Amino acid sequence: MYVHRFPPPSVYGRLRVERQNLTPARWLEQRPPGNDGFGTVAAVCAPGFDAYARILHPALLGTEPVRWAQVAGVYGRSVSAGTRWHELIGAQDSLLYRNDDTPAVPGVWDEHPHEGPTPADVAGALISVLSRHTSTPDHCWYGLWEGYGHYDWDGLPLFRTPGRDEVLLAGPLDDADSPAQGPDEVPPEIPDLWWPQDRAWCVGGDVDLVSTYVGGSAACIADLLAAPGLEVHAVAETSTVN
């Protein structure tokens, strides 16, 4: 089915689209050997941070978020840093679980976790924590995979991360989730990558994942692990992503 793609905008949500200077993103292209292939936390996020966290995208019951731990209890399982959603619910295939015969559990969950960049409610909770761990919350940068379906980004300069070409965006941290606040029936995706000018942390997500990853200081990751609005597990930069 043909999907109409609009010309590239000058702003995405409230984030400015960078049309010339990609210098702020070049550090993400300079990866040491072993961190240049998709599949690890460092490849989706960025290498070299003191600590890392995996933030699980919640399942849904209607419009209410449901933690993986709550779902796990129904199946007599537990959740760890490496848990895969399809295994948690007893699905046979990580690529086909949305279309297989694995049923939801009435009264517990009825919608799989969001597969893609950070969901809006998770992004809002992340913003609250990450703002405390940067000296430049009003000066942040973002990477948006050029393959998302709303806009035709042809002609704009792109920077490269493992497996993806990204459009560079700019704006304050408080506006990270602004694309999802628009009036569209299907809101545009929140950027996959976020980092402040001081590079105190980096957020990484991907179109194929049901988790968001964050690299930062030990204090930043500890703060995320304690955040009441997030379901978070500590991981290593070499951990496999899910």
- Could you tell me the residue ranges of all domains in the chain? 11-57+115-235, 59-113
Helix residue spans in the chain (DSSP H): 26-29, 41-44, 68-74, 85-88, 120-130, 218-225
The phi, psi pair for 124, rounded to 5°, reads: -60, -40
DSSP state at residue 42:
H
138 exposed, middle or buried (CB, 10 Å; 0-12, 13-18, 19+)? middle
CA end-to-end span of the chain: 28
Tens place of pLDDT per residue across the chain (242 aa): 344 467 777 889 999 999 989 999 999 988 766 555 678 999 999 999 999 999 999 999 999 999 999 999 999 999 999 999 989 998 765 555 555 556 688 899 999 999 999 999 999 999 999 999 999 999 999 999 998 877 888 888 999 999 899 999 999 999 999 988 765 655 678 999 999 999 999 999 999 999 999 999 999 999 999 999 999 999 999 999 98
CA dihedral 218, 127, 108, 189 (to 10 degrees): -120
How big is the chain, counted in residues?
242
